[in-house]
Chain A
Amino acid sequence: KAGVTQTPRYLIKTRGQQVTLSCSPISGHRSVSWYQQTPGQGLQFLFEYFSETQRNKGNFPGRFSGRQFSNSRSEMNVSTLELGDSALYLCASSLGDRGGDQPQHFGDGTRLSIL
């Protein structure tokens, strides 16, 4: 069974630009969550999508947005990039329905560097 696939693996952008990251979940998984990982703040929850709807949201500014498509694939967009947005962005997928064991599995991440 294929795992969570994130593209691209690496990105270099400059301040003020915008970026779109992509995540394909494990087959059959309908929930996709996004996290930001930095050395100073650790892993922080951005948002979660389930059935094309944002179901949970973390404490990030509106420059961070996302969406989910009917095939459960998800994209995350960051606009007006700042130096502090440099981080590893991780996507995780799970079944997402409220019925039982629901562990999240992570992709390899997209490492975003802002110059």
Chain B
Amino acid sequence: QKEVEQNSGPLSVPEGAIASLNCTYSDRGSQSFFWYRQYSGKSPELIMFIYSNGDKEDGRFTAQLNKASQYVSLLIRDSQPSDSATYLCAVGGVFGNEKLTFGTGTRLTIIP
């Protein structure tokens, strides 16, 4: 069983709609959760991070964490063509443990 699982996609969403990206993890001791966006040929760019159960909003992005279900998600509201990229879910341990375990990523395409 993979430690961090994501649907590889591709996920196609119409422009202006809400894109929903999901991630599950296996290590119950995980404490930190990150979403990175990676454009083709580029390096990962940090989008959101969340440490506590519940929702965290930043502009058009909302990260949701449910530790009991070992589930983390990313919602992108008012999707734009520039949001088309691969989204990587990363899971870390306690603060200061810098080892991140990444999912394989979900390829998102926003259709104009």
Q: Could you list which residues of chain A lie within 8 angstroms of chain B, going by C-beta atoms?
A: 31, 33, 35, 42-45, 48, 50, 55-56, 58, 88, 90, 92, 94, 96-109
Contact = CB atoms under 8 A, between A and B. Distances in A.
A96 B46 contact: no
A108 B39 CA distance: 12
A96 B44 contact: no
- Majority secondary structure of chain A interface residues (helix, strand, loop or mixed): strand
Interface string B41-52: 011111001010
Contact of B98 (A31, A88, A106, A109): A31
Of the listed residues A43, A90, A101, A105, the one surrounded by the most CB atoms of chain B closer than 10 A to its CB is A43
Interface stretch (B18-26, B70-78, B88-96): B88-96
Contacts of A106: 36, 43-46
Nearest to A56: B99
Nearest to A105: B46
Interface in B86-112: 88, 90, 94-105
Contact of A97 (B32, B34, B94, B96): B96
A104 B100 contact: yes
Given A102-B32, A103-B49, A45 B43 contact: no
- By size class, the interface of chain B is 20 to 34
A35 B98 CA distance: 11
B47 to A, nearest CB: 10
Contacts of A31: 98
A101 B49 contact: yes
9 contacts: A43-B90, A96-B98, A99-B96, A101-B51, A102-B32, A102-B95, A106-B36, A106-B45, A106-B46
A103 B104 CA distance: 19
A45 B36 CA distance: 15
A104 B46 contact: yes
